[in-house]
Amino acid sequence: MSGRSFLQIPGPSLVPERVVRAMSQPLIDHRGPQFAALQREVTSGLKEIFQTVEGRVLLFPGSGTGAWECCIVNTLSPGDKVLGCVNGHFSDLFCKTATAHGIDVERLEVEYGAGVPAEQIEERLRRDQERQIKAVLVVQTETSTGVTSNLAEIRKAMDAAAHPALLLADVVSSLGCSDLRFDEWKLDVALTAPQKGLMLPPGMALLAVSEKALEANRSAKCPRSFWDWRQVLESNAAGHFPYTPATALLFGLSESLKMLSEEGLQNVFHRHARLAEACRRAVEAMNLKLFPRNPAEYSNTLTAIAMPHGLDADAFIDHTLKLVDLPLGKGLGKVKGKLFRIGHLGSLNELELLGVLAGIEMALKSFAVKIPLGAGLAAAETYLLETSDRRSPL
Ligand code: PLP
């Protein structure tokens, strides 16, 4: 198709031109001085995105799934007990990664569409008199349902229980889209991948780790080699990595960090929140139902929409792709076929979002969903106009 491509799955997001250009420069020696400068630059830029001064940042070739494994094997030992909060497909897989490494995962099951209830974590930790629970596993934005859990509240709950468990957070689809305060919320690990809010192609696992997590690392007995934090921190101190790094992705990361810094992190969050709200208003004006239950937990990254009763969401997504060349996210795991997801993350502006909403309206109408054509667009346009003076508040 001619014109701009759309990719409205909730990650990978479209890679901006500036990042593509940065990645296409000639490779450099990954053991040379130019590389050392690049490594230091991206590490310190990432610290700003994680909002950490205290934490250390580690980069690996890999993906979010690799980052789960990296987090588990570096902080825990086989047989350790953890509390795994499960409110969707990705939190389920995070917990299963721990189980695969011999960790005893007690699952706190939460209805899909709801956020992780901080008070239930507090209650469980208070009951753990023997302090057997070594860590709490939680996903900030559950990409399968479009729900963002409140990490600040979860931290407060853990403090209220005066429990020493590590707080291990998956921020794969929230970093660079929603506020994430590594130091202030006393996270021990925040793990992510670059293909969402960081606007890069997939191919890396990125982690911020606290001093407490590094201390746990010293006694953690899960076998590890490639994922071992200590080797990476030692090599990083000399400006390189213990293996051949993903140099081209690091060029891209350096550029995307510059873009985020130029826009200003708070403005980036605000842009995401505003586009997300415009999208939700459009969906409601189309008489469709948002999948997340609680408005306080709506995600900035994506909107998950319940497919009208009796219709198959996967078939609708296939239809949309065929009709207007617009890829949307399918339902995953338990919600397969029941919902579709619109990604509005990374490098995206108002007119692009309106194009997406127009495509969805056309696709719904021609899929025999009874919607008033143009109603969603009008609702989004109205909201964007009403808030146009608040485009960049800072
Ligand atoms: N965690 C979350 C919240 C995700 O959304 C994803 C992927 O979409 C992952 C983990 C897994 O990441 P990856 O697909 O890069 O392995």
Task: Give me the sign of the Cα torsion angle 235, 72, 157, 51.
Answer: positive
Domain assignment of residue 364, yes or no: yes
Is 367 in the same domain as 270?
yes
Mean pLDDT of 352-359: 98
Query: For position 285, what pLDDT does the model report?
Result: 97
Query: 155 and 301, same structural domain?
Result: no
Percent of the chain with pLDDT strictly greater than 70: 99
Q: Probe ligand 1: pick from 72, 86, 87, 90, max atoms within 8 Å of CB?
A: 90
Q: Report the distance separating Cα 323 and Cα 358, nearest Å.
A: 12
Whether residue 7 lies inside any domain: the answer is no
Q: CA-CA distances (angstroms) from residue 63 to 66, 162, 203?
A: 5, 33, 5
Q: Is the pLDDT of residue 122 over 90?
A: yes
The residue nearest atom 14 of ligand 1, judged by CA position, is 64
Summarize pLDDT for 259-312 with one digit per residue, the tens: 999 999 999 999 999 999 999 999 999 999 999 999 999 999 999 999 999 999
Could you tell me which residues come within 8 angstroms of residue 317 by beta carbon, excluding any fewer than 6 positions away? 327, 328, 329, 330, 340
3 within some domain: no
What is the mean pLDDT of the segment spanning 14-42? 97
**Chosen domain end from 218, 238, 261:** 261
Do 132 and 246 belong together in one domain?
yes
Same domain for 174 and 277, yes or no, is: no
pLDDT for the residue numbered 2: 87
Give the nearest ligand 1 atom to 68 CA: 10
Whole-model pTM: value is 0.97
Q: Which amino acid is at 85?
A: C
Burial class (CB in 10 A: 0-12, 13-18, 19+), 142: buried
Q: At what angle do helices 375-386 and 265-285 cross, to 10 degrees?
A: 150
Kindly state whether residues 249 and 346 are assigned to the same domain: no
Which one of 239, 261, 283 terminates a domain?
261
Last residue within a domain, chosen from 197, 231, 261: 261
Average pLDDT over residues 54-82: 98
Report CA(268)–ligand 1 centroid distance (Å): 21
Determine the 3-state secondary structure of 148 from DSSP.
strand
CATH number of the structural domain spanning residue 348: 3.90.1150.10
Confidence of residue 394 (pLDDT cuts 50, 70, 90): low
Read off the CATH number of the domain in which 166 is found. 3.40.640.10
3-class secondary-structure state, position 237: helix
Residues with CB under 6 A from ligand 1: 11, 63-65, 90, 139, 143, 170, 172-173, 193, 202
The Å distance, Cα 63 to ligand 1 centre, comes to: 7
Contacts of residue 322, Cβ cutoff 8 Å, sequence gap at least 6? none
Q: Are residues 276 and 306 in the same domain?
A: yes
For residue range 214-237, list pLDDT tens digits in order. 999 999 999 999 999 999 999 999
- Structural domain total, the chain: 2
Residue nearest to atom 2 of ligand 1 (CA): 172
Q: What stretches of 129-264 show up as alpha helix (H) in DSSP?
A: 151-160, 211-219, 229-237, 247-263
Q: Are 178 and 198 within one domain?
A: yes
Ligand 1 centre distance from Cα of residue 12 (Å): 10
Cα of 108 from ligand 1 centre, angstroms: 20
Q: Whose CA is nearest to atom 10 of ligand 1?
A: 64
Does 200 reside within a domain? yes
